[in-house]
Chains A and B, each alone.
Chain A
Amino acid sequence: MKMRGTERNRRIAVTSMTALMAIVAAFTAGGARANARPFAYGYDSGTLPAGQHEFELWTTWRVGRNDVYSRFDHRIEYEAGVTDTLQTALYLNWSKASARDPLTGSLVSETSFGGISNEWKWKLSDPAADPVGFAAYAELTADTDEAEVELKAIVDKRIGGMILAYNATVEPEFEYDAGEIEAENVNVEHNLGLSVQVSPGFSCGVEVFEHSAYTDGKPRFAALFAGPVLHVASGRFWLTATTLIQLPALKPSVSGQRFVLDEHEKVKARILVSLPL
């Protein structure tokens, strides 16, 4: 019955994408512009000016693994400009995952708190005023039994209404084990995005995302994703949405398989919205 589930996932993805396009069309009519986040997975180098702040709501839907799997990740973010080139943010994370119980075969859902995160982003050059924009980024997440550090280098370039951005991310995972801190896994990610402003309130483009996982220095898998990204803005409100589809893996986690479907999904969709409070 796996085929059925896959087919349904694909239909849900297509339906939600269509609904999104309709929302986008509705907002495009508005006309104002504010390009807060051009990409939903990748980052640009921009930071809020000193004293300015914003709330963002993140929703990520990840669907389709080897077996039935669907998961929503939610984050509420509060970000603030500390100086004109240094920005910090606080996140509250939680998620709801549904998967088939391997023993009973029934669908089980679980909601879990994903800890809190603290982000720092330091902008060193500007993507429009300098030859390239550059920012260094660090995010710390603390959960009850896990701590994560995410370090990112962000490079971007804006030309007219077009933006090209590349991120390289390293993420060692630490575990608290009997009072000791161990670094077991290291994740390396690459994000590439290109987006073009079509009208003042609307831009669209593509995002590519690659994730390589290493355990004790040995590569476990390298998964590759790509998909369209849309950004709409009206006044102080903006929304950025991406649907990434998994492409054949650069290194499958299970030899003989084309995709990484034990630790990743077939489809990942993310929507970021600003909450103009």
Chain B
Amino acid sequence: MRRAGPAGRTVVLLALSGWLAACAGSIPRPAADQAVRAAGRSPGVTLESLSRGRALYVAKCSGCHALEAPAAHPEAFWAEHVPAMADRARLSGDEPALILRYLEAVRPQSR
């Protein structure tokens, strides 16, 4: 472990940062066009409300198990599991809905 030379360490660091940067986007930030599309389905959704949904998802859902990418599951899965986890995540008011709208909006749209 201690024996890697400076060159070896640089290569490892570069590879690691490239890999981390490439993978930082598994919990994507909502984009304006996604907000427009989401508002078409659920009136009242804005870019701000989607951003709040993401912030809530990260803050409330990461404490007990890994956050999963919104794209990892179909909409029906999230529609079932977000309300089921609301109690455990101590969600209140419109928070479950905000998280759900975010998870739905940033999933790749099926053609």
Contacts and interface: CB of A to CB of B under 8 A. Distances in A.
Interface of A: 33-36, 46-52, 81, 84-85, 87, 126-132, 157-161, 163, 197, 208, 224, 233, 250
A122 to B, nearest CB: 13
B62 A52 contact: no
A131 B16 CA distance: 11
B65 A51 contact: no
Interface string B1-39: 110000000000000000111011011000000000000
Pairs A-B, 3 closest by C-beta atoms: A84-B59, A129-B27, A51-B90
Contacts of A49: 59-61, 63, 89-90
B2 A250 contact: yes
Interface string B47-69: 00000001000111111111101
A126 B29 CA distance: 14
A161 B66 contact: yes
Nearest to A132: B20
A130 B89 contact: no
B20 A129 contact: no
A36 B60 contact: no
Contacts of A160: 26, 69
A130 B24 contact: yes
B111 interface: no
A126 B67 contact: yes
Contact of A52 (B26, B27, B90): B90
Contacts of A132: 20
A33 B65 contact: yes
Interface of B: 1-2, 19-21, 23-24, 26-27, 54, 58-67, 69, 88-90
B26 A128 contact: yes
Contacts of A158: 66-67
- Does more than half of chain B's interface fall in helix, strand or loop, or is it mixed? loop
Contact of B20 (A47, A84, A131): A131
Given A49-B89, A250-B2, A129 B58 contact: yes
A47 B2 CA distance: 32
B60 A84 contact: yes
Q: Which residue, of A50, A128, A160, A224, has the highest number of chain B Cβ atoms within 10 A?
A: A128
Contacts of A87: 63
B18 to A, nearest CB: 11
Contacts of B90: 49-52, 81
17 contacts: A35-B64, A46-B62, A46-B63, A48-B64, A49-B59, A49-B90, A50-B90, A52-B63, A52-B64, A84-B63, A126-B27, A128-B58, A129-B54, A129-B62, A158-B66, A160-B69, A250-B2
A160 B90 CA distance: 25
Nearest to A33: B65
Given A35-B64, A52-B89, A163-B66, 6 more contacts: A49-B59, A84-B63, A159-B26, A160-B69, A224-B1, A250-B2
A51, A132, A158, A197 — which one has the most chain B CB atoms within 10 A of its CB? A158
Contacts of B67: 126, 128-129, 158
Nearest to B89: A49
